[in-house]
Amino acid sequence: MESNQTCFRRGVRDGMPIALGYFAVAFTLGIAAKNAGFSALQAMVESLTNNASAGEYAVFSLVSAGAGYWEVAVMTLVANARYLLMSCALSQKLAPETGMGHRMLLAFDVTDEIFGVSIAFPGRLNPFYTYGAMAVAIPGWALGTFFGVVVGNVLPLRLVSALSVGLYGMFLAIIVPPARGNRVVLALVLLSFAASWAAASLPALAAMSSGVKTIVLTVAISLGAAILFPVAEEAEA
């Protein structure tokens, strides 16, 4: 059993690539915020309190279109609904006796990436690991947005393009090793790639937002797998 301090430090280490990727992505988000009439401070607070790329982007575009508060609430709900699923999965990764304080703090930053590294934690999740990752990722995200508003497009496109791929590299580092050891997971990863590609290419689904597509595909594929290949107790850990 590792100490909380060791876990926190490991979280900081794994949070570094997240923070770098966030900075680059949030930078472009800041440009959208500026176009919507947000000041640098307001954009930074939006990022600090929302921690969601697609959700924030939706907010910025709605605000620039002059939408009402309810529309923003509904759109935020739709764009971020996948975090509901992630939080459900994360609740099973925690020891059942984990206190409410930890649960409320962890909930603050359930993002694709923080969720990803937390799930990859061996065994039960020590919340301090996630706090370590959050401690670097949240400032990276907020400051990236801030500077995006202040200095606009100063990062060369080449660099933004390269940095934004780092987040996907992390996803690969999380899903590939279990896929190597488990044929069902391997098949699911490949199936998910194919289905996601098909959903993105089909003109009939063009109106569906990518957030909704993610939810529909995740639920359909995971549910099918759960029915066809239920996981044995000892295989989980």
Partner 1 sequence: MKQNIWIYILVSALVSYLIRVTPLALIRREITNRTLRSFLYYVPYVTLAVMTFPAITEATQRPLAGLLALAAGAVLAWRGGSLFLVAVACCVVVFVSEWILI
Give residues 191-220 in contact with partner 1 (rule: CB under 8 A). 192-193, 195-197, 200-201, 210, 213-214, 217-218
User: Binders of partner 1: how many residues, by CB under 8 A?
Assistant: 102
Taking contact as CB under 8 A, which single stretch among the options 1-9, 65-73, 138-146, 147-155 is the one that binds partner 1?
65-73
| Closest CB to partner 1 among residues 154, 228 | 228
d(CA 179, CA 192): 12
Least separation, in Å, of the C-beta of 25 and partner 1? 9
Do 56 and 75 contact (CB within 8 A), yes or no? no
Taking contact as CB under 8 A, which single stretch among the options 1-9, 92-100, 140-148 is the one that binds partner 1?
92-100
Least separation, in Å, of the C-beta of 81 and partner 1? 7
Do 26 and 145 contact (CB within 8 A), yes or no? yes
Interface residue with partner 1 among 3, 4, 5, 91 (CB under 8 A) is: 91
Structure tokens at 168: 């996907």
Interface residue with partner 1 among 65, 88, 204, 206 (CB under 8 A) is: 88
Report how far apart, in Å, the C-alpha atoms of 64 and of each of 34, 37, 156 are.
10, 7, 26
Structure tokens at 68: 């009402």
Give residues 9-48 in contact with partner 1 (rule: CB under 8 A). 13-14, 16-17, 21, 37-39, 42, 45-46
Give residues 156-175 in contact with partner 1 (rule: CB under 8 A). 157-159, 161-175
Q: Does 225 bind partner 1 (CB under 8 A)?
A: yes
In terms of Cα–Cα distance, which of 133, 114, 223 is closest to 174? 114
Give residues 138-157 in contact with partner 1 (rule: CB under 8 A). 157
Q: How many residues does the chain have?
A: 237
Least separation, in Å, of the C-beta of 61 and partner 1? 12
Interface residue with partner 1 among 4, 5, 35, 92 (CB under 8 A) is: 92
Taking residue 130's Cβ as centre, other Cβ atoms within 10 Å add up to 29
Helix (H) or strand (E) holding 12: helix 4-35
Structure tokens at 151: 């200095």
The site string for partner 1 over 110-129 (x = CB under 8 A, - otherwise) reads x-x--xxx-xx---------
Buried b (16+ CB within 10 A) or exposed e, 68-87: eeeeeeebbeebbebbebbe
Interface residue with partner 1 among 2, 73, 151, 183 (CB under 8 A) is: 73
